[in-house]
Structure 1
Amino acid sequence: MSSSEREDDTGGVHIAVPDFQDIMLPLLRLAGEGEQSFNESLEKLAEEFQLSPDDLNELMPSGSPKFRSRVSWAKTYLKKAGLLESRKRGFFNITERGLEVLKEDPSVIDVDFLMQFPEFAEFREGSGKPRKIRKRRRKRAGSRKERLTPEERLERAHDELRKGLAAEILDIVRNSSPEFFERLVVDLLVRMGYGGSREDAGSAIGRQGDGGVDGIIKEDRLGLDVIYIQAKRWNSSVSRPEIQKFVGALQGKRAKKGIFITTSDFTAGAREYVSKIDSRIVLIDGMQMANYMIEHGVGVTEVAYYSVKKIDNDYFSE
């Protein structure tokens, strides 16, 4: 009997909440039918897996609904592999790559299958190197984790949770309004120690521009120096010419320091240019911004806390 099955009261086999990897292929097929809302996809998948009300009400230790969490993780992994995308908040679509995968009619889509895509390999292991699919393979990526100590598995799980949360945050921010993005930038910089009070920061940042905000903010509460801010709510990469414009704006304001925040990323040329100029420019890409939000508690809330303990050798010494 598989981990997603259990015996019911009559002795028959009942399909319990499926593993998040078992959800991947049905979710991709569902997206292949057209744009889907996340909530509607939950209902359709629950019907496909024949889940009972008790299954749908089953909670994780953190208190989150297990099925909803697993569907969300399946969606996140498919998006990181480039098979799904979000064009507006709360909805997702299949990509051209996703359609090509469906044409191949795979029997299963799991972590091992997704490792063939460089974006997912980078997200999963930081290598960016795709892995060939083995013809005979049913062992999940979890089999590799079983060789790790419990402490190492916990650390790996925490890292995966953080990466998934950062990806979800970035997706929401990219689909937010310019006004919301403006408030987010202010909140984040204040939490990071810039701008003095929120009122000071809010009055300094607020000149709405092309999909973002820009302005001047105090470097510290005493206002001994100022930092020029440029924020772009973009999907495309920020290239060198945009950074050069930013540096020109700094010179025009006689500013020496600047922060460029984007919801996308920066080209290699942009980063190389910043490393060679005299002005102190800090580049914050989308994933860095999302991780700063997690670190400083902006737009996130704690749902569970796990205390890891070890032997107190001093206590047991005689």
Structure 2
Amino acid sequence: MTKAKVRQAEFTKWFGPLLDALRDLGGSGRPKEATDRVAKNLNVPDSVREEVMKSGTPRFQNQVAWARQYLVWEGLLEDNTRGIWTLTDKGRNAKLTDDQSRQIFLKWVDIFQKARKDKSKAEIITEQEEEEPDSVEYSYTPGLLEILQRVTPSGFENICKRLLREHGFENVEVTGGSHDGGIDGYGTLELNPFVTIKVLFQCKRYKGTVSRSQVGDFRNAMFGRAEKGIILTTGTFSEDAKREASRDGAPPVELIDGQKLVHLFEAIELGVKAKKIYEVDLKFFEPYMEKKL
């Protein structure tokens, strides 16, 4: 009897390009640097980069993260928790074709499926395409981003006010219902004992994508009133919005998307509690698994 063919996951096409991207970056890079370099090298269109999953996470970003996870299991990238993706000695010289990437994928899906007999291979692949690599437990507990998307708009503004204060801002105030030209609040930040700047911020609590025009409108509202602007959202920013935020000759606007927002909460453990868990090291057990015939 012929075995049923395991369908291909989309993220395998980023295995080789991710290795190439990290080589371009000198052997290591932060997740955003590596993801941006993959997109640049392959001219990934904005429409692909801006597509989001049900969770609100950009699908392209999540796929590259899953590519990284498989390359870690395969020993081509280091497994570290410092937020830096780093090539191993094995990975520095590895060049992967699409077929080689698929073989790596099938090998680890097989190992993963044997470790979780309650799930079929097809179910595991589907879950990986819709979940983030650090959520492989698949047990449902509302995540921080989901909770932030449930609070009221005014509640989100006040949570952002608290977050800014915890990260060193002073004199932080929410403007209330006036929404003066799109400005939801302001504060000051001491850069050093001699320099303090005024910052205006805008809060967007939704799952959508913030557009270039929205960034431009916010900048127009802050023009002449502050040295810096911040937009915080539980959603994402379009690629045009990112380019607009850093456009030469215009006041800079910092963009805090949903994922970065979560990291900012976690960094100071605001509204979250640290929890130590143990995750099975599948690579360790690989030599002891039943070999395929």
State the TM-score, normalized to the length of structure 2. Answer: 0.47
State the TM-score, normalized to the length of structure 1. Answer: 0.44
Higher relative contact order (CA 8 A, sep 6+): 2
